[in-house]
Structure 1
Amino acid sequence: MLNQLALDGSERERLQQMFERAPGFMALLEGPDHRFAFANNAFSELVGHNDLAGKTITEAIPEFAGQAFVDLLDRVADSPEPLIGHGVAMRVSRPGELPEEIFVDVLFQPLPASDGGPAVIFVQGHEVTGDKRNEALRAAHNRVLELAIGDSPLEQTLSELIGIVESTSRTQVLGSILLLDPDGQHLRHGAAPSLPDAYCQAIDGAEIGPCVGSCGTAAFTAEPVFVSDIANDPLWADFRELADAHGLRACWSIPIMTAGRKVLGTFAMYHREPREPTVRDLALVDLVTQTAALVIDRDRAQSALRTIARMTG
């Protein structure tokens, strides 16, 4: 695989072993169509494809056609100078997962051809998706707090908060926040920027209880409720047809609570296919529910102060 480099057999074998053990992804691509001479396990895992050797990059990874990664390879092929890309976006399709956008820091190093063979480009890098998402998360969270402090409408602020989860999810989650009515018995629409309006209207005002879907049950018990298959869960007996009509197949709901354990509402994560929650799915739950509690509490306090001002003015 490494026969385009001026190395004997033992040197090529040692180099290949070093590549395989490297923590970052590595690949050698040769010729103008960027044919894989070698790719280590980390590269195969990154792109979700194992059978790469001997194929051009777009044959091996069809979704890369037209992406920035291939454009950068073309630029390097026409220049003797290396190129470093920071936070390069890549759309990948890994087995068993929905397509997602990831980010990498990557070095493209052109290597001179030997013995008349095709030119080779050495590719090396690391995935930095987590860093990019954390950066976006911080910016989005600051935006939510700015809206709250600026007394923006509650639905707008909560929609921005839901956007944090929807924009960082790999599974196309649909977020929803319901507010517990002052009577303590009913849930009211708070924000759900991606759910169908008809569905939001249908559940607005639902009474909480021990068997009232995910959100009604979570608000009643003050405990998280994870329903991975709405079609077969008894908690959804009264709402199953409604959810099915809108293509909703799973719903995980977490109560939004004050420090004193008073329920303010619920934060729900819907999916359009049956799904069990994973650690990654739930990584933002604490941030969202704690921030939502702060925002809702503040909004209610401000509303109460305005009422008092009107009564005494």
Structure 2
Amino acid sequence: MKPLRLLLVEDSDDDALLILQWLHRHGFACETKQVMSAADLKAALGEDRWDIILCDYVMPGFDGLAALQIVKDHGADIPVIIVSGTVGEDVAVASLKHGAQDYILKQNLTRLGPAVESELGSASERRYTRLLESVASSHSEVLEMILNGSALKPILDYIVSRVEELSQNGALCSILLTNDSGTFLMPGSSPSMPEAYNKVITPLKIGAEIGTCGRAAALKETVITEDITVHPNWGSVKEIVQECGLKSCWSVPVFSSGREVVGTMAIYYRNPRVPTAEELRWVESAARLVGVAIERGRSEVQIREQLDELLRWQNAMLNREDRVQQLKGEVNELLLRLGETIRYPSQA
């Protein structure tokens, strides 16, 4: 069975049951929320992520065109199929013009399963195309910041903001950096995370049994925690997690060019969920950018430290040379007082 997160805009429970039966016949295991009003539709769109919306056209005080406008205003690319009783061709055309992907009659639901399958595929392709374009643009911006010598913190803040923007649906992003010994994760960038959570979570010891980020850094692999409120790795901070309303976490280890773990990048949601294959691909791509930025930042720090040491050594040597010249002058003066030939001729 194929999982399907279905938002069903339907005022008839009998019709809703019939629709779900047809989807089940086509191999869909539906996780469904049924709404019957504009207010409920708006709330449902803000609460969760939906794969598709099936919408009746005529409902008490509400219709399909109004529903389509609400979905459009929400901004997410969620395919909408109108599933309604017998109506005129003009209504079907109007629905398609207002953004519906298809129009199916309740009297003939045999086409429902294939239509849902087709629209899911088309929506996935659209999202992935836009995502690739946005990711490419973000990569270019980050690389330009790196080449221009921007400090590490602004670069990480920019990556976090772009990841949150591309994730949509209220995603929160956090970047943690390993300390010098590679035993703890320290704050990197997490401007949208609850401050109370940030204070409690760092420094975070790296370990396979510690949170999602601690485990990802320890195992050097992506770790997905669908529901952190019931996962044993989160037991020590479960109270603050619940207070902050965090439910799921995906953490990707960040590597240097030498495959050394230099940090983690995590995505949090306020509802239990796992990433799609597309989401994992671009999050891991963003993590590679973070690795480049961290390595460049740390290399710059090391270079500056080496330069400071060289300057200290140079100053010490210059001071030493000045003292040597002073001592030579004092010896020459003493020799002259003794009536002897000076030992160190002037180099002037």
Shift in alpha-carbon separation, 1:51–1:189, aligned structure 2, 3 A = same
Q: Which residue of 2 aligns with 1:101?
A: 76
Q: How does 1:53-132 map to 2 (within 5 A)?
A: 59-65=63-69, 90-91=72-73, 100-102=75-77, 123=97, 128-132=126-130
Greater radius of gyration (CA)? 2
Shift of 1:172: 2.1
User: With structure 2 as the length reference, what TM-score do the two structures score?
Assistant: 0.58
Secondary structure (helix, strand or coil) at the match of 1:277 reads coil
Contact 1:166 1:174 in 2 (8 A): yes
Partner residue in 2 for 1:171: 169
Q: Please, which runs of 5 or more residues in structure 1 have no aligned partner?
A: 1-44, 68-89, 93-99, 105-116
Distance 2:215 2:78 in 1: 38
Task: Give, in angstroms, the shift of residue 199 of structure 1.
Answer: 1.5
- Flag the 1:66–1:150 CA change in 2: closer, same or farther, 3 A: same
Pair 1:181 & 2:186 matched: no
- Alignment pair present for 1:275 and 2:273: yes
In terms of fraction of residues, the more strand-rich structure is 1
Range that drifts further, 174-183 or 142-151: 142-151
Contact 2:128 2:278 in 1 (8 A): no
Partner residue in 2 for 1:49: 54
2:192 corresponds to: 194
Structure 1 residues 277 and 131: alpha-carbon distance in aligned structure 2, compared to 1, 3 A threshold = closer
What's the CA shift for 1:163?
Answer: 2.3
SS state at 1:231 partner? coil
> Secondary structure in 2 aligned to 1:239?
helix
Q: Which residue of 2 aligns with 1:231?
A: 229
Instruction: Indicate if the aligned counterparts of 2:186 and 2:204 stay in contact, CA closer than 8 A.
Output: yes
* 2:30 corresponding residue in structure 1: none
| CA distance in structure 2 between the aligned counterparts of 1:102 and 1:162, rounded to whole angstroms | 22
Residue 61 of structure 1, CA deviation: 4.4
Q: 1:50 to 1:63 in 2, by over 3 A?
A: closer
Contact 2:176 2:188 in 1 (8 A): yes
Structure-2 change in CA distance of 1:279 and 1:91 (3 Å): farther
Match for residue 209 of structure 1 among 198, 207, 210: 207
Deviation at 1:246, TM superposition (A): 1.1
Distance 1:237 1:46, change over 3 A: closer
How far did residue 142 of structure 1 move?
1.4
> 1:135 corresponds to which letter in structure 2?
E
What SS class does the counterpart of residue 173 from structure 2 fall into? strand
Partner of 2:160: 162
1:301 aligns with 2:299: yes
Alignment length, in residue pairs? 229
Separation in 2 of the partners of 1:55 and 1:208? 55
**Equivalent position of 1:284 in the other structure:** 282
Give the SS at the match of 1:230.
coil
> Residue type of the partner of 1:208?
I
- The question of whether the paired residues in 2 share the 8 Å contact of 1:103 and 1:129 is answered with no
Cα distance in structure 1, aligned partners of 2:208 and 2:161: 29
More helix per residue: 2
Structure 2: distance between partners of 1:258 and 1:311: 25
Q: Is the 8 A contact 2:152 2:297 kept in 1?
A: yes
Opposite residue 102 of structure 1, the aligned amino acid is D
SS class of match (2:224):
strand
